[in-house]
Amino acid sequence: MSQTEQRWAAAYPELGTGPIPVEPCVSPEFFEREMEKVFKKTWLKVARVEEIPNPGDYKVKKLAFAQTSVILIRGKDGVIRGFHNTCSHRGNKVVVEHGDETFGSSKAAVVTCRFHGWVYDAKGDLVSVPEEGKFHSCFERADNGLTPIRTDVWEGFVFVNLDPAGTETVAEFLGDMGKHMGGFPYGDMTKVYAYNTELNCNWKVAHDAFAEAYHVATIHAGSFPNVFSSGLQNVLLAGPHRTTAVCLTLDAEPKPVAKIANGLSGASLVSAKAATMLPPTINPDKRPDFAFELCVLFPNLLLHISEGIWFTHQFWPIAHNRTRWEGRYCVPQPKTNSERWAQEFAQVLQRNAWLEDTATMEDTQTALESGAKQVMHLQDDEILIRHGYHALEKFMAAE
């Protein structure tokens, strides 16, 4: 085998080339330790600032792996803060949830528990208690605010960290990868197509299906025939995070309708386009075949950017063999009806590709749980997956 075929192994020899154990994807015991050592210790993206733009706006996000949900509320000072959705009185949920994500707004920038009417402001302070005089002397209103969750913002993405003892900021956690992906105008792309579902598979099985291009020629032969190259370019590993460029096959001829849509809007990933908004760290060698940057922010967020497009995949663990997948595809608001049509067409293709991806995951989980195979063999261009298990192992081994 030539060195060209093994270029990422040569670039990152510390990752090794051996097979990857199946156990992290099938073991309930591993899952429980993973939740404690990884998901309850690291920064997790839970919102965009555009979702709660005004003082008093709030979002409640369920975090099933931690048996909690977080209230994200923007205060009158403009700061977004996070709190456990648990009343200090008798533990009722302060905000009644409607699904995995719940939105609301209060002109007074407060939230009120429906059970007994305790009122909390946007800083988490308990500001009103009905019949407060009937409580005993041990009760102090100042000591009974909402339980805070560390909350931070990077490039308009709202992150939380459930570890109350942690001191690292989200910028420090992202490190060089935050710098690499920073400076992109994420907030300018406010037309959002969002999808979600629950899958009977481990979160890593779902995650890994999106973190390589080896599968494109087979799984996406219908949606994107001969469009993307299976080889990765400009792979960069930074701490537990990793990124790569995914590139086009330039001589591929789009289907007639796709060609028309590409000429009307830049909402499709399958057309070569300018690079007026990409940070200088993205596609540094100015490859004409560059399609998009595929970045993995540890542990569970895939962030992709291209000219006029960004999209995410996020994988929320529910059980060792169950995952909530959330996909968001973001483009600028269309200015004409033809642009809107082109965006809709591009998104239908993207949705179909995502359905093709998710269609493999439950079969993978079932087959792995059979015990027929104890390891997985990765090829060189599956370097992001190999690095992901390497990073996970470091967190699992940490004190």
pLDDT of residue 4: 63
pLDDT classification of 1: cutoffs 50, 70, 90: very low
355-393: per-residue pLDDT in tens?
Answer: 999 999 999 999 999 999 999 999 999 999 999 999 999
User: How far is Cα 359 from Cα 220, in angstroms, rounded to an integer?
Assistant: 11
What average pLDDT score do residues 259-275 get? 78
User: How far is Cα 224 from Cα 380, in angstroms, rounded to an integer?
Assistant: 23
User: How far is Cα 283 from Cα 281, in angstroms, rounded to an integer?
Assistant: 6
How many Å is the Cα radius of gyration of the chain? Answer: 23
Residue count (the chain): 399
pTM above 0.75, yes or no: yes
User: How far is Cα 239 from Cα 333, in angstroms, rounded to an integer?
Assistant: 35
pLDDT of residue 305: 97
| CATH, range 4-24+176-397 | 3.90.380.10
What average pLDDT score do residues 339-351 get? 91
Residue ranges per domain, the chain? Answer: 4-24+176-397, 48-162
Sign of CA dihedral 167, 154, 329, 78: positive
Instruction: Catalogue the E-assigned strands of 253-348.
Output: 290-297, 301-306, 309-319, 322-331
197-222: per-residue pLDDT in tens?
Answer: 999 999 999 999 999 988 888 888 87
pLDDT of residue 250: 72
79-113: per-residue pLDDT in tens?
Answer: 999 999 999 999 999 999 999 999 999 999 999 99
CATH architecture of the region 48-162: 3-layer Sandwich (2.102)
Q: Does residue 188 register a pLDDT over 80?
A: yes
pLDDT classification of 248: cutoffs 50, 70, 90: confident
**What would the two tokens of residue 56 be?**
């008093």
